[in-house]
Amino acid sequence: MSPNPRDLHERLAEIVGPDHVDTDPGRMADLFPSTYPEAHLPLGIVRPDSADDVAAIVTAAGELGVSLYPISRGRNWGYGDACPTSDKAVVLDLGRMNRIRHIDEDLAYAVIEPGVTQGQLAQALEERGLWFDSTGAGPEASIVGNVMERGFGHTAYGDRIRTVSGMEVVLADGSRLRTGFGDVKGSAVGAVFPYGIGPYLDGMFTQSAFGIVTEMTIWLMPKPTHFAAAICQVRRDEDIFELIERLRPLRLDETLRNIVHIGNDLRLISGAMRYPYDRAEGQTPLPEGLRQSLRQELGVTPWSFSAALYGDAAQVRAAKAKLKRALRGLDCRLIFLDDRKLALARAVARMTAFLPLGRALNQKLDQAEPAVGLLKGKPSEAFLPGAYWRSRRPVPVDRALNPAQDGCGIIWVGPVLPATARDLEKFLDIAEPVFRAHGFDFLLTLSFVTARSLSAIMTITYDREEAGERDKARACHRELVEVTARAGYPVYRGHSQAMDLSGIGTGAFWTVVRRIKDALDPNRVIAPGRYDKGGMP
Ligand SMILES: Cc1cc2nc3c(=O)[nH]c(=O)nc-3n(C[C@H](O)[C@H](O)[C@H](O)COP(=O)(O)OP(=O)(O)OC[C@H]3O[C@@H](n4cnc5c(N)ncnc54)[C@H](O)[C@@H]3O)c2cc1C
């Protein structure tokens, strides 16, 4: 049963002040737009300023019989946005807790609150000789929220959960703990040795709704003396299989230390322009002839990848040579870019901007610079336009992009495969026809999050303003998750508006998960239903 809205408002306002609570049902739709075909709206939103506030809110929620859905910045676009798992929850927005508590330059780590954004940390690190790992979700996305979902970025620290060394967590009964050695009185090593002694709990608080993280220590990457981005365009569709076989050994032996991202042509085209409804004469998905023409016009090949080479001069030189050797015989164009080359190219482009060639070069650099920046942990808005591919609304130019607010339809589906040509072939045979059958374009990236696996991130982009498209997108999502899981490739991350598709099972693993949830949060105060089959007890 939901509490009386006035009691709820009063109780929360006592903790955070009236300016930081909103329980007006009439405002929820505007505050919680979604990229999913439909989404739960919360009972309200509360914005704490400290872990003490969070503890008090959790206690009050337990007493009022209401649940809380925590968000760090709520930019979980394509995975449920800021929307809760049920319409009986209050969103606990941790955005005000945005202090960078400490940056240690010698030991290369930062202690941050959940509301710290990628842009904020990047700026704080600018002059410090340290890089953090950035995702493609732009400067406004959080770091903590992304780690809670075991999201990944683009640098050598891209498998982000592996760079966490200690969390502060508020539990459903209002108590607090620090993981690892952070909980040992007088310990000097919580931030540098993640494992502590005894069970290693950090991972347990990700993808679980077992607690609310109010502080996290993340390791930073010392800026290497030398860096080069390797950008490669693969001209033959069928070479993708050989490419995987050739890149895997370089990930395994750490010649390529970062998460190598491979994208198909449609993923790149969708980042560079909107869906050409006129040229396609209203047809969807993109007709094959038009796809070929767009490849030519935009200089896009069937597959491309970006990788980063870090180290001293000799290490980067050796890695370049090894990568070149590995790709020998493939019909591809490999280039290496570094800051010096980019600056030189930009100077030439500026001087020749009055010529078509100069304008084209400027355009290419506008795309290349953010992609190279990401390999050095620089967040950018440049990747967000891809979310607008099938939308018919204009992309806003006078404010930060926000796909949910701008009415974009986007759903990510991310199964994981062993990094072999055989598995990739099987996966493509299964997944691509599902997109076609539902009228969507098969946008795909393949990321070596670990050296042995590929996260196959597929994007369903659709026009959310068309009821028919919403139905098709939902059906496509369900079918993709089901067929890939059946083939042995389950998704790595759940969608908050479709948790039934996240692979939560009934086996021994999920029984233990449920027992832990029962012990820590018997009344299901924290995000009921999020990675928790059955939701309310
Ligand atoms: C164009 C585009 C590119 C993208 N690129 C990437 C990418 O490269 N990598 C990637 O991983 N994602 C990517 N995303 C997806 C998504 O936008 C990001 O994962 C984003 O970081 C999530 O938003 P957030 O950080 O604000 O997290 P939030 O929305 O705040 O939270 C995400 C989830 O974590 C839980 N949570 C948040 N904070 C806490 C807390 N303190 N305690 C307990 N639970 C918490 C929430 O309940 C929620 O379920 C992309 C999206 C778009 C549209």
- The 10s digit of each residue's pLDDT in 314-353 is 999 999 999 999 999 999 999 999 999 999 989 988 899 8
Cα-to-centroid distance, 153 and ligand 1 (Å)? 11
Mutating to test ligand 1, I would choose from 148, 388, 410, 532 the residue with most ligand atoms within 8 A of its C-beta, which is 148
DSSP secondary structure code for residue 224 in this structure:
P
Answer yes or no: is the C-beta of 212 below 6 A from any ligand 1 atom: yes
Amino acid at 54: V
Q: Are 371 and 381 in contact (CB under 8 A)?
A: no
- Average the pLDDT over 356-375 and give the result: 90
Tokens of 322: 């090894």
Answer yes or no: is the C-beta of 148 below 6 A from any ligand 1 atom: yes
Answer yes or no: is the C-beta of 12 below 6 A from any ligand 1 atom: no
- The 10s digit of each residue's pLDDT in 410-427 is 999 999 999 999 999 999
Answer yes or no: is the C-beta of 89 below 6 A from any ligand 1 atom: no
Q: Are 231 and 368 in contact (CB under 8 A)?
A: yes
Residue 165 — very low, low, confident or very high, per pLDDT cuts 50/70/90? very high
- Average the pLDDT over 395-424 and give the result: 95
Which atom in ligand 1 lies closest to the alpha carbon of residue 403? Answer: 53
Give the neighbor-by-neighbor strand order of the sheet with 89-93. Answer: 21-22, 44-46, 89-93, 67-71
pLDDT of residue 135: 98
Helix (H, G, I), strand (E, B) or coil at 76: coil
| Apex 395 CA angle, 394 and 397, nearest 5 | 115
pLDDT of residue 209: 94
Name 109's bridge partners. 104, 219
Q: Over the Cα atoms of the chain, what is R_g?
A: 23
pLDDT of residue 1: 62
pLDDT of residue 537: 40
- The alpha carbon of 174 is separated from its chain's Cα centroid by a whole number of angstroms, namely 29
pLDDT at 533 over 80: no
Query: How many CA within 13 A on the CB side of residue 371?
Result: 23
Tokens of 67: 């649940």
- The alpha carbon of 188 is separated from its chain's Cα centroid by a whole number of angstroms, namely 32
Tokens of 4: 């009386």
Answer yes or no: is the C-beta of 78 below 6 A from any ligand 1 atom: yes
- The 10s digit of each residue's pLDDT in 47-67 is 999 999 999 999 999 999 999
Nearest residue (CA) to ligand 1, atom 41: 213
- Average the pLDDT over 12-31 and give the result: 97
Cα pseudo-dihedral 378, 381, 385, 391, rounded to 10: 140
End-to-end CA distance of the chain: 13
- The 10s digit of each residue's pLDDT in 98-120 is 999 999 999 999 999 999 999 99
- The 10s digit of each residue's pLDDT in 446-492 is 999 999 999 999 999 999 999 899 999 999 999 999 999 999 999 99
Q: Enumerate residues 6+ apart whose C-beta is below 8 A from 157.
A: 131, 132, 133, 163, 219, 220, 221, 377
Which atom in ligand 1 lies closest to the alpha carbon of residue 148? Answer: 34
Tokens of 18: 């009236």
pLDDT at 534 over 80: no
CA distance 160 to 175: 26
Helix (H) or strand (E) holding 170, with range, is: strand 164-170
Q: 254 in the Ramachandran plot: left (φ > 0), alpha (ψ -120 to 50) or beta? A: left
Which atom in ligand 1 lies closest to the alpha carbon of residue 530? Answer: 49
Name 104's bridge partners. 109
CA distance 83 to 86: 8
Answer yes or no: is the C-beta of 260 below 6 A from any ligand 1 atom: no
CA distance 165 to 195: 8
Tokens of 173: 């009964």
Answer yes or no: is the C-beta of 67 below 6 A from any ligand 1 atom: no
DSSP per position, 522-533: TT--B-TTTT-T
Average pLDDT, the chain: 95
pLDDT at 129 over 80: yes
Place of tokens 């809670």: 148
Out of 139-153, 264-278, 312-326, 358-372, pick the least confident: 358-372
Which atom in ligand 1 lies closest to the alpha carbon of residue 35? Answer: 53
Cα pseudo-dihedral 125, 129, 132, 136, rounded to 10: 80
Pairing of strands 332-337, 226-234: antiparallel
> What is the sign, positive or negative, of the torsion defined by CA atoms of 177, 183, 186, 188?
negative
- Which residues of 338-489 form beta strands (DSSP E)? 408-413, 416-418, 443-447, 453-463
Query: How many CA within 13 A on the CB side of residue 421?
Result: 11
Q: What percent of the chain has pLDDT over 90?
A: 91
- Average the pLDDT over 179-202 and give the result: 95
Answer yes or no: is the C-beta of 144 below 6 A from any ligand 1 atom: yes
CA distance 390 to 408: 8
CA distance 266 to 244: 19
Tokens of 111: 């202690």
- H-assigned helices in 182-264: 240-252
Q: Are 133 and 221 in contact (CB under 8 A)?
A: yes
pLDDT at 394 over 90: no
Q: Which of 317, 306, 270 is nearest to 291 (CA)?
A: 270
Q: Are 108 and 221 in contact (CB under 8 A)?
A: yes
Q: What are phi and psi of 100, to 5 degrees?
A: -90, 110
